Structure 1
Amino acid sequence: METGEVLVIDLFAGPGGLGEGISSVADVDGSYPFRIGVSVEKEPSAHKTLTTRAFYRKIKNSELGLAYYNDYLMGAYTREELFAYFPIEAEESLRETLYTPHALGDDNKEIHSRISELVKAHGDKPRVVIGGPPCQAYSLAGRSRNAGIKDYKAEKDHRNFLYKEYLKVLSIAQPDVFVMENVRGILSAKLDGEVMFPKILEDLRAPERVTRIETPRYKIFSLVVDANNPDDPKYDDFTDFLIKSENYGVPQARHRVILLGVRADIEGTPRTLNRLEHKSTVEQVLADLPKLRSGFSKRKDTVKDWESVVSNNATIVKRLLKKQFKKAQSLDVKPLKKLARSASQPIKFPSQMPEHLIEWYRAAEPPCVLNHETRGHMESDLLRYAYSAAFTKLSGGISPKAHDFPADLAPAHENWNSGSHADRFRTQAANKYSTTVTSHISKDGHYFIHYDPKQCRSLTVREAARLQTFPDNYKFEGTRTQQYVQVGNAVPPYLAQQIGKVVMELLNYNYSGCE
């Protein structure tokens, strides 16, 4: 790209999934034009992860820097010691993430000032704004929770209006292109009885309507459906903005609304994403990770006791499944022996993984497995996990519903037979892409049971991160619970990279005169 660097302003950044994907896009000359100038995130543990990754991007091309980073991953140094060895890069990383957590709406003076500085320093070169306002007020689950809150008023919930903070940044930065992501529920969310999405679209097309700052107009494109009129893009249905990640190399059914805004003076029509013929599966991307056992959450935890309990459970499960599946007789569900609850040894070459994901996950192979530690479960739930995983294996990939569980495995849950919790226990089938990884994975593992009954457990943070397509050397900071939340709230970086390529092609067309 003859224009040099592209300034990226990353809003509501989370642990950095969208920024990771965009910044990893390589141009035809081998350069990496997208450079993140600022990432804004308010949650402290996600902010810490974001800063660590910003630091990694600044030292990764240095043999010495990469060696020290890998030593940090191995536990040889603390994060503070690592940063102290590279004070210049550490300072740049901290500045990139505004030193401390910041929230749009609460800390606008400092955030807007920094963005203005960056825009002024960047001059006439291209710039991009990325990010998606938090989804709690739009998501179906969030709206269900809100409905149960006494005197809840959607028009008074500030989260419904965080997109207006995005508009303010558009008016300050006036980027060539913006990428805005949100949950599917934004398409149907209502305020005062009116669907909000049409108004959000109109405001994004003309931010000045809200900000009262002179701002160019934007054309809003879908990344998966061709526009009826590229000069004034319109679509037959709002679901045309919905991206189904499993169609684009992500081993997960993550369906998100992603809008591509293009400033009105930018020429050319952005192409849509290229669908992949084959979908990636859970087993393909998890099979090479070290096998682990679960633990006990309500009693003393030892390998011997776990093996005894899970072995007894295997006998019960096999007996129960014989009534439903003829081939259950030959099923081996006995627990693997001498498993640990965490593992960090290097990974063997992942032979099952699709080629495009091998390169993506392992491009800068870490010296150890990160964030790969199991949690403890109630002993009664271990039996249900074993049953669910074995049932899913025998059924060819169908996770059992509540009505498939024998009565003596039913939990003491008043809604178990109501139908509202039919998926209370859900195995991520080996031969399919996973269901959506959400922040709920931080609360319990019931919706994210590992497909291998011999391990009898829920997914680790690293396994969830694999399903989200985070590279293997992506270090998640904070407690394990905080790490789960970060992964569940993120944008899949591999999908973000594909979006970044579309943006780069459009900028190349405008700034270098070549398609």
Structure 2
Amino acid sequence: MKGISLYSGAGGLDLGFLNAGFEIVWSNDFNVNACNTYSHNIGSHIRCGDIDNYTHELFSLKNIDIVIGGPPCQGFSVAGKMDPNDPRSKHVWKFADIIEIIKPSAFVMENVKALGTLSKWKPLRKSLLERFRNLGYSTSYVVLNATEFNVPQKRERVFFIGFKGNPQIIPDLEKMMMPYKKKAPTVREVLSILDKAGTGNNKGYCKAKITLTPKPVLRKSPFAGMLFNGMGRPINLDDYANTLPASMGGNKTPIIDEKELYENQTGWVQNYHAKLLAGSKPMEFQNAPNRLRRITVEEAKLLQTFPLDFEFLGSQSSQFSQIGNAVPPNLAESIGKMVLDCLISETLEKVIIKLPHQLEMEING
């Protein structure tokens, strides 16, 4: 089945749908480095620049089965100002406009969790659902946790998914995704295939310094709170990483303990945290021990479930940004398999809520 990708970035969503069995025949993104990465790894069918410059080419495509994409999310993210008038927020409507013209059999639109959960965006959610349903799509949205879909990262995102058909029925997306769940491996397991940072297959070393804060903010977990200056947090190797931000590359890059990773020693962060809880004074105005460092580009890539041979192009900061902005391919693949199975078997009506009052509750509740 043929697909179109919008706001493609480096291609995380596309890679997942390719692995699920779709053929992506056309894609677009505004970021030059991301487009170069996409072209290098996935294909030359990506068009770089403002999508409005390619509408004639885009709208000439026929027999498209699916449209996927992740419109810019900064306007909705709790990490930003969440300004309803942020021009980047308007791209969700551009996505809907393209659905209206292309008329695919299905669509998948990804965005930050806040768009699917915060009351601030309730009117927008209602309007989006109404728009898609008025276009003739059985539509709903679901917030998915990537750790449940073979991604070692606590990353939650909302997905608006629609199938052409009766707009008065609501896909039960949570139920539909259940068969495609797969527990993720731990950070330690995922990074075990890499050499030591700065060597071999793990050369993308991040040189951003790590300094201890003189005023720690303590939480029950040593991996929460704030023990260091900046927003980078230590990673629990035997659990999942927190969401990798697009702002990695400096002091927002997560921290890893080399001796814990390579030599199975007790983590320095855990020991320091325990001493602070016991009443010890913070270590003031000094760099963290050399055993602590920022994660590398390759480690970030694997935590986002890109294959090791997937090459990101551009400066190191751009590579980190492309990784942080991407949809984890393993999560995308699970969604792609679900959508493909529905389109092939035409079993959508077996997993939907048909009651009209449920529709009203979702729109107005």
What TM-score range do you get, normalising by the shorter chain?
0.7 to 0.9
CA contact (8 A) 1:273 1:502 kept: no
CA contact (8 A) 1:448 1:458 kept: yes
Larger radius of gyration: 1
Counterpart Cα distance in 2 of 1:200 and 1:52? 34
CA contact (8 A) 1:248 1:274 kept: no
Deviation per CA, 1:116-143: give whole Å up to 9, x if none.
Answer: 2221xx4xxx510001210000000112
Counterpart Cα distance in 2 of 1:130 and 1:444? 33
Aligned to 2:193: 288
Task: Give the TM-score taking structure 2 as reference length.
Answer: 0.77
CA contact (8 A) 1:189 1:196 kept: no
Counterpart Cα distance in 1 of 2:138 and 2:257? 44
Secondary structure of 1:138's aligned partner: coil
Deviation per CA, 1:381-433: give whole Å up to 9, x if none.
Answer: 35x49xx9xx99xx9x732634xx5xxxx75xxxxxxxxx8xx4521111110
Aligned to 2:112: 183
Aligned to 1:432: 239
Counterpart Cα distance in 2 of 1:221 and 1:158? 24
Aligned to 2:136: 217
Counterpart Cα distance in 2 of 1:425 and 1:52? 30
CA contact (8 A) 1:21 1:496 kept: yes
Counterpart Cα distance in 2 of 1:459 and 1:204? 40
CA contact (8 A) 2:138 2:166 kept: no
Please show how residues 477-488 of structure 1 align to structure 2 within 5 Å. Answer: 477-488=313-324
Aligned to 2:353: none
Counterpart Cα distance in 1 of 2:97 and 2:222? 46
Shift of 1:275: 6.3
Aligned to 2:249: 442
Please show how residues 385-424 of structure 1 align to structure 2 within 5 Å. Answer: 398-399=222-223, 401-402=225-226, 405=227, 424=231
Deviation per CA, 1:1-28: give whole Å up to 9, x if none.
Answer: xxxxx12110000100000000112xxx
CA contact (8 A) 1:130 1:178 kept: yes
273 and 183 in structure 1: CA distance in 2 versus 1, 3 angstrom threshold:
same
Aligned to 2:147: 246
Q: Which runs of 5+ in 2 are unaligned?
A: 260-289, 348-365
Aligned to 1:468: 304
456 and 500 in structure 1: CA distance in 2 versus 1, 3 angstrom threshold:
same
Task: Give the TM-score taking structure 1 as reference length.
Answer: 0.55
Shift of 1:374: 1.1
Secondary structure of 1:508's aligned partner: helix
Paired letter, 1:377:
A
Aligned to 1:35: 23
Aligned to 1:66: none
Aligned to 1:205: 133
Deviation per CA, 1:185-227: give whole Å up to 9, x if none.
Answer: 2132747xx7422112212222xxxxxxxxx4111134xxxxx
Shift of 1:268: 11
Percent sequence identity is 27
Paired letter, 1:218:
Y
118 and 431 in structure 1: CA distance in 2 versus 1, 3 angstrom threshold:
same
Number of residue equivalences: 310
CA contact (8 A) 1:45 1:477 kept: yes
Aligned to 1:160: 89
Paired letter, 1:170:
I
CA contact (8 A) 1:138 1:189 kept: no
Deviation per CA, 1:135-154: give whole Å up to 9, x if none.
Answer: 0000001126x6xxxxxxx3
Aligned to 2:14: 19
Secondary structure of 2:81's aligned partner: helix
Shift of 1:280: 2.1
Counterpart Cα distance in 2 of 1:488 and 1:48? 16
Counterpart Cα distance in 1 of 2:180 and 2:99? 30
Aligned to 1:7: 2
Counterpart Cα distance in 1 of 2:180 and 2:61? 35
189 and 161 in structure 1: CA distance in 2 versus 1, 3 angstrom threshold:
farther
Q: Does 1:171 align with 2:109?
A: no
Q: Which runs of 5+ in 1 are unaligned?
A: 1-5, 26-31, 56-92, 147-153, 207-215, 223-240, 293-341, 345-368, 412-420
Secondary structure of 2:158's aligned partner: strand
Paired letter, 2:9:
G
CA contact (8 A) 2:181 2:334 kept: no
166 and 463 in structure 1: CA distance in 2 versus 1, 3 angstrom threshold:
same
Counterpart Cα distance in 1 of 2:161 and 2:291? 42
CA contact (8 A) 2:232 2:251 kept: no
Q: 1:343 aligns with which of 199, 214, 235?
A: 199
CA contact (8 A) 2:111 2:158 kept: yes
Counterpart Cα distance in 2 of 1:253 and 1:142? 19
CA contact (8 A) 1:273 1:499 kept: no
